[in-house]
Structure formats: structure tokens, C-alpha cells
Amino acid sequence: MNMRLLCGASLALLTACGGNQSEDRVSTSPLGLARQALGQVVAERRAASQPQAPAKSPEQMAAEALRVNPGPLILVGMESSGINQVMAMTGENGGMRTYMTPSEQALILRGGMLSGTRGLGNDLSVVEAGTESLIRARQSGSAPRVLRYYAGDGLERPLSFECSVTPGPNPGVMIESCEGHGASFQNNYMVQGGQIPVSRQWAGPGLGYITIQTVRP
């Protein structure tokens, strides 16, 4: 790289390439300060004009996670924010699995059914789903569902809903329709052998719907 090209890379270095002034004099003179400010603006504009790497698709994220992580993985979509991310299992206890991102945002699942969230804000403490046996058995029926949330005082606040379970339009899909507290929502589950590899579940008024897909069981 020649000296002319090197000087053109940043206007903040112009004085060092062609003048007899000392570094201290340039940095404190009006002309030197103006040059430094202009150089910073140009550098920022150049950085902003550089092509950004395209966002990875959910399929690309899943493929990359499969390469680097040998354990169970899920692909999670937050519909309210439009964010998709892969979560890896970090613990399992009594059929409850915790899946987490590197930034320690987590979902807690039981056989694919959402049981809690952590680190997402407006977190769901725990779910008491009376409909679970109906959904896993792919049977119609009604039962209550209680969603417990962390309040600002650190205590749990329950929201109770009455839910009905019916078969969906496609084979293996079960629909859970719930109402209560002036709100209504509908969860969709793909059920296979009592497990739920794909679902769309409501996590509450703050988090909204979350889609969950098993990448590696």
C-alpha cells in the first residue's frame, strides 16, 4: 500500500502524512480538530456503507447449531418480536427440560409443552395444564389451565382459563382453545407418540405466542 492510499484511508491522519507540525500542535489547533472530526465522520459513514451480512434463516441457524452442539436442540420463534433463535438443553429433571440461549434466555418444556420461561421479561413461572392428558392422548374434552407469572414484588400471580381441546384440521394436530380474564387464545400442538415436536403456544399477555420446533430430540 503506497503512502497516498494510506493517508486517504482516514482524514484524521492527513496531518501525519504531509505536514511538519508536531502531533500535539495538530491535535489542539482548530484546523487539526476539524480534520479529526471530519475523519471520524467519514470513517463512520464508510463503516455504515459496508454491506451487512444477511440475517440467518431459521434453517441456517438450526443447521449451524446441529454442527456445534451434540445435545437436544429446539428452534424458538417469538412472534411478538419476530426473533428466531436456537436453544440448547442445559438441564433435565423429572421430565422437565430447560433449553437456553448463550444469553441465558430459557424455556422450560415437559414433553414439548411449555411449562415456564426465564430471562425473557414478563416471565411465565409455571403452567398447570389440566388439558395435558387430553392433548397427548389426542382426545377431545375440557379442563382448566392456570398460568402463573412473576409479579414486580417477586410473588406469583395466577391467571385461570377454561380450555377445550379438539382435533385440528390436519392429522395429529390438536387445538386447545382457552378463555378467561377477558382474554382468549388458541394453542396448536403436533402430537406424535405422546410427544409434541412442533407447537405454537401462548405464553401470556406480555410474551404472546411462541413457536417451538424440535431440532434434535
58-216 CATH pick, 3.40.1260.10, 3.40.50.460, 2.40.360.10, 2.60.40.10: 2.40.360.10
Q: What angle do CA 158, 162, 168 make, to 5 degrees?
A: 125
pLDDT tens track for 98-142: 999 999 999 999 999 999 999 998 899 999 999 999 999 999 999
What digits encode the pLDDT tens for the residues 21-58?
433 444 455 555 556 655 665 666 666 666 665 777 87
Task: Quote the pTM value.
Answer: 0.71
Residue 148 has, within 13 A of its CA and on its CB side, a CA count of 10
The whole-chain average pLDDT of the chain stands at: 82
Are 165 and 176 a contacting pair, CB within 8 Å?
yes
End-to-end CA distance of the chain: 53
152-180 mean pLDDT: 93
Contacts of 134 (CB under 8 A, 6+ apart): 140, 141, 143, 165, 174
Where along the chain do its domains lie?
3-49, 58-216
Which uninterrupted H or E stretch holds 91? Answer: strand 83-93
The amino acid present at 10, given as its one-letter code, is: S
Q: Phi/psi at 24 (nearest 5 deg)?
A: -65, -40
Distance (Å, rounded) from C-alpha 112 to C-alpha 108? 9
